[in-house]
Amino acid sequence: MPSAPPCLLHTAAVTARQLREVLRCIINAGHWATADPPVQVVADAGHDGPRLTHLLRDLPAQIVVRTRSERVFFHPVPDSYRVGPTGSQPPRHSTRFTLADPDTWHKTDSNSKHVTRRHGTTRSRAWHRLHPRIWRRSAWSDHQGQLPIVEGTLIRLGVQQLPSGGTPKPVWL
């Protein structure tokens, strides 16, 4: 397999370094304390949310990244999973959660609806403890050891109408 261009290999690392410096300045300036909620870092779909989460896991940050609607995530392997008599490794991923296929979505962990003047009924739904399959390429190509399972919460935001009259599409975070 061809290796990723160097610019792709380092984008997440450079972004994480910059965010680490900003967070360090926020903490040193006294704008964040241990009892405070995590600092929310919001990024667009061009950023690798799981990689940023992993690289910043030691800081009080909550990473929120817009996710493309063709992505696939996985449920965690149940704690009750038992290794077979051959002693094989347990699987790292359980059932699929495909953003573009509502048949793969299980019951939401959080669900809310609101009626607004501009967008009609808005709805947010969330599913906890989902994770992407991580491959040893692009941002993860230099990762040492076994690739991690980076769990998070998927949020789907939807609106009934757009002020422009266009067709609304859901937003995944």
pTM, two decimal places: 0.84
Structural domains in the chain (count): 2
Last residue of a domain, one of 66, 99, 121: 66
Residue 115 and residue 172 share a domain:
yes
Residue 117 and residue 57 share a domain:
no
85 belongs to a structural domain: no
Select from 132, 134, 139 the least CA-distant residue to 3.
139
Distance from C-alpha of 8 to C-alpha of 147, rounded to nearest angstrom: 18
The reported pLDDT for the residue numbered 124 is 98
Distance from C-alpha of 49 to C-alpha of 71, rounded to nearest angstrom: 12
The reported pLDDT for the residue numbered 1 is 44
Residue 75 and residue 46 share a domain:
no
Distance from C-alpha of 76 to C-alpha of 99, rounded to nearest angstrom: 16
Cβ pair 76, 151 in contact under 8 A: yes
Cβ pair 97, 103 in contact under 8 A: no
The reported pLDDT for the residue numbered 87 is 62
DSSP alpha helix (H) spans, 76-142: none
Residue 59, domain extent: 1-66
The reported pLDDT for the residue numbered 9 is 52
Residue 158: how many CB atoms within 10 A of its CB? 16
Cβ pair 162, 32 in contact under 8 A: no
Residue 73 and residue 149 share a domain:
yes
Residue 71 and residue 54 share a domain:
no
Residue 59 and residue 109 share a domain:
no
**pLDDT tens digits, the chain, 173 residues: what are they?**
445 555 555 788 899 999 999 999 999 999 999 999 999 999 998 888 999 999 999 999 999 999 999 999 999 887 766 666 666 677 788 889 999 999 999 999 999 999 999 999 999 999 999 999 998 877 788 888 999 999 999 999 999 999 999 999 999 99
